[in-house]
């Protein structure tokens, strides 16, 4: 537990991605099997403990510490696990500090009745950092700023392999990943996971700027609409595993039972998850209602029906199709679809064209819901993991823009910790500014220096790392779309807002009104 606790603590305070990677790799190098496997499982949220509810932990601490003092401490610290870790009385314990493996294995076999006694014994034996790590682990959320993808990247660095190789294996493996570590340390064979509904890393597109079409021959490419949903991979075996993977390889199937139940096929497909009513694609925020839900209600299934628009086919039965060119795979996809005809799925239509000008006109004409722009795919491109250059391009519609007023600035982290680099901006409503979004990129280093300087010289109020500034500077922000939102005071939310231009010249009174943004909302 000592090593794992040190790792978590290090990660909490480490703002930089590379720093986090270094800490995790070091952990894999130094921690023994099977501890490190369980550590990896914890970082990738592959461990679930259902018994240790916050109420149980509260009960334990209130039996040891004056509940009044505990209550005030909790108010002050704000986080239950941390409060309990810090306040737990430190007395000599006859018990040794358990290893991570012991913790994980004991928790999975211990019943509700014995659990409090076990936890109490562990907490007595541990120091404050270990207690904190234990409580974070058993209550679920680690919140140390590490995604599953980052943990897998560290693992790939540790073993000197491509992270996509790990992604392909991942869903066929289980903690404590002994075979996987053995392979990465060149002590064993690559684990065999064929036959499972495992994840195949997605092929991603690079952005195409307006003038970059010149060097490309239109005859080499096929075009289709770029749908504004969530890219998914459907993987199914008849009578066996069915999975819906996100772009990063997370299994999101639980939130979409209406798709899962219709995956009665033997294939791996690439597509876009959308909410579709009748034939019409709903705006992106309708799909958001379906994300990250632990419980999927009937009403949600009726109100926000999920649909997958298919782009590609990677496996058909036993046949891996990734080596074929796009055009050929596309033919196979159409044939497969004609044969299987799964409900709630259709094939993304191709957009025929003969010249870039023609395609550009088509793109500008498409103001339909759910279309972000166009995808261009080389007819002969195999399906390659990652973002290979020169194969797939996304050609987005021009962004929307608005003139807004800078209201608050927050200091960044890591290399940006001495710069005010995160900006909250507002638009006018009834003579007052209402925050409409937040942006922290889109400017050059030089512009960042200028903005930082301006913030420091126009501060009117400070709240910790946040400064309120005089409402004087106009930021022209660009964004992909605007949606209704009940979570924001303005009632709207922007998608992908970024600072487009700093309008040093423009008086703040001439910035846009909230009404103007409301008119851009896609209903």
Partner 1 sequence: MTAMTQSTAPRSPASWLKIAPEGLCCAPGGFHIDPVQPVERAVITHGHSDHARPGHGSVLATPETIAIMQARYGDEFPTRYHALPYGEPIRLGEVSLTFAPAGHVLGSAQAALEHAGTRIVVSGDYKRRPDPTCPPFQPMPCDVFVTEATFALPVFRHPSDAHEIGRLLHSLEIFPERAHLVGTYALGKCQRVISLLRQAGYNRPIYMHGALLGLCALYERHGVPLGPLIHVTNQNKAELKGQIVLAPPSAHADRWSRALPDPVVAMASGWMRIKQRAKAGGIELPLVISDHADWDELDRTVDEVGAPEVWITHGREEALVHHLGKKGYRARALALVGFEEEGQ
Is position 18 an interface residue for partner 1 (rule: CB under 8 A)? no
Nearest to 44 by CA among 199, 193, 248: 248
User: CB under 8 Å to 454, separation ≥6 — which residues?
Assistant: 469, 473
DSSP state of 88: S
Q: Which of 245, 227, 228 is nearest to 164 (CA)?
A: 245
Alpha-carbon distance 333 to 311, whole Å?
A: 8
Q: With respect to partner 1, which residue has the nearer C-beta, 16 or 335?
A: 16
The torsion region of residue 414 among left (phi > 0), alpha (psi -120 to 50) and beta comes to left
Among 68, 92, 295, 349, binds partner 1 (CB under 8 A): 68
Q: CB of residue 69 vs partner 1: minimum separation in angstroms?
A: 5
Neighbours of 253 (CB within 10 A): 20
Residue 65 interacts with partner 1 (CB under 8 A)? yes
**Residues 113-132: x/- map of binding to partner 1 (CB under 8 A)?**
---------------x---x
- For 134, 139, 460, the CA distances from 12, given in Å and listed in that order, are 15, 17, 31
Would you count residue 79 as binding partner 1 (CB under 8 A)?
yes
How far is Cα 77 from Cα 75, in angstroms, rounded to an integer? 6
Piece of the chain touching partner 1 by CB under 8 A; list 62-70, 289-297, 321-329, 433-441: 62-70
Q: At its nearest, how many Å lie between partner 1 and the CB of residue 143?
A: 10
Candidates 58, 411, 438, 506: give the one binding partner 1 (CB under 8 A): 411
Which of 63/361 has CB closer to partner 1? 63
Size of the site for partner 1 (CB under 8 A): 31
Ramachandran bin of 70, using left for φ above 0, alpha for ψ from -120 to 50, beta for the remaining angles? alpha
Minimal distance, residue 89 CB to partner 1, in Å:
8
Give the shortest CB-13-to-partner 1 separation in angstroms: 5
Secondary structure tally for the chain: helices H, strands E: 19, 20
Smallest distance, partner 1 to C-beta of residue 22, A: 9
Minimum Å gap between C-beta 235 and partner 1 is: 38
Cα 161 to Cα 43: distance, rounded to the nearest angstrom = 19
Residue 231 dihedral angles phi and psi, to the nearest 5°:
-70, 130
Binding to partner 1 (CB under 8 A) within 462-491 occurs at 464-465
Place of tokens 């690079």: 206
Residue with Cβ nearer partner 1 (104 or 137): 137
Q: By C-beta, is 77 or 351 nearer to partner 1?
A: 77
Q: Which residues bind partner 1 (CB under 8 A)?
A: 9, 12-15, 65-66, 68-70, 72-73, 76-79, 82-83, 86-87, 90, 128, 132, 411, 413, 415, 417-418, 456, 464-465
């Amino acid at each position: 537990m000592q090593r794992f606790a040190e790792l978590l603590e290090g990660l909490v305070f480490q703002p930089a991605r590379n720093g986090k990677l270094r800490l995790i790799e070091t952990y894999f190098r130094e921690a023994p099997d099977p501890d490190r496997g369980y550590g990896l499982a914890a970082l990738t949220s592959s461990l679930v403990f259902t018994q240790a509810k916050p109420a149980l932990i509260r009960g334990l601490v209130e039996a040891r510490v004056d509940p009044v003092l505990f209550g005030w401490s909790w108010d002050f610290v704000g986080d239950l696990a941390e409060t309990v870790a810090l306040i737990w009385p430190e007395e000599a314990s006859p018990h040794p500090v358990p290893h991570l493996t012991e913790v994980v294995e004991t928790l999975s076999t211990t019943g509700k009745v014995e659990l409090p006694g076990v936890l109490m014994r562990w907490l007595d034996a541990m120091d404050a950092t270990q207690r904190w790590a234990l409580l974070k682990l058993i209550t679920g959320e680690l919140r140390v700023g590490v995604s599953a993808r980052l943990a897998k990247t560290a693992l790939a660095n540790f073993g000197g392999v491509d992270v996509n190789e790990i992604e392909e294996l991942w869903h066929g493996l289980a903690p404590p990943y002994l075979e996987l570590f053995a392979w990465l340390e060149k002590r064993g064979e690559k684990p065999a996971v064929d036959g499972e509904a495992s994840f195949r890393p997605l092929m991603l597109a690079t952005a195409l700027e307006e003038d970059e079409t010149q060097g490309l021959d239109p005859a080499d490419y096929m075009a289709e609409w770029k749908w504004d949903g969530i890219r998914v991979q459907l993987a199914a075996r008849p009578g066996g595993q069915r999975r819906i993977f996100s772009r990063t390889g997370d299994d999101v199937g639980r939130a979409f039972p209406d798709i899962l139940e219709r995956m009665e096929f033997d294939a791996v497909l690439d597509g876009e998850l959308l909410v579709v009513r009748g034939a019409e694609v709903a705006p992106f925020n309708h799909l958001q209602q379906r994300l990250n839900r632990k419980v999927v209600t009937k009403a949600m299934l009726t109100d926000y029906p999920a649909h997958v628009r298919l782009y590609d086919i990677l496996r058909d039965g036993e046949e891996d199709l990734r080596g074929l060119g796009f055009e050929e795979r596309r033919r196979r996809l159409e044939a497969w679809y004609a044969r299987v005809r799964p409900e709630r799925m259709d094939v993304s239509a191709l957009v025929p064209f003969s010249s870039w000008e023609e395609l550009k006109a088509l793109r500008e004409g498409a103001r339909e819901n759910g279309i972000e722009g166009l995808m261009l795919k080389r007819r002969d491109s195999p399906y390659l993991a990652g973002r290979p250059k020169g194969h797939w391009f996304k050609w987005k519609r021009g962004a929307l823009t608005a003139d807004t007023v800078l209201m608050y600035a927050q200091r960044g982290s890591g290399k940006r910790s001495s710069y005010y680099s995160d900006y909250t901006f507002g638009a006018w409503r009834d003579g007052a500014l209402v925050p409409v979004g937040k942006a922290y990129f889109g400017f050059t280093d030089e512009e960042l220096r200028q903005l930082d300087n301006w913030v420091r010289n126009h501060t009117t109020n400070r709240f910790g790392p946040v400064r309120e500034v005089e409402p004087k500077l106009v930021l022209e922000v660009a964004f992909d779309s605007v949606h209704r939102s009940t979570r924001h005071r303005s009632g709207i939310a922007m998608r992908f807002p970024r600072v487009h231009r700093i309008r040093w010249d423009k008086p703040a009174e001439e910035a846009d009104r909230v009404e103007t943004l409301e008119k851009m909302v896609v209903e």
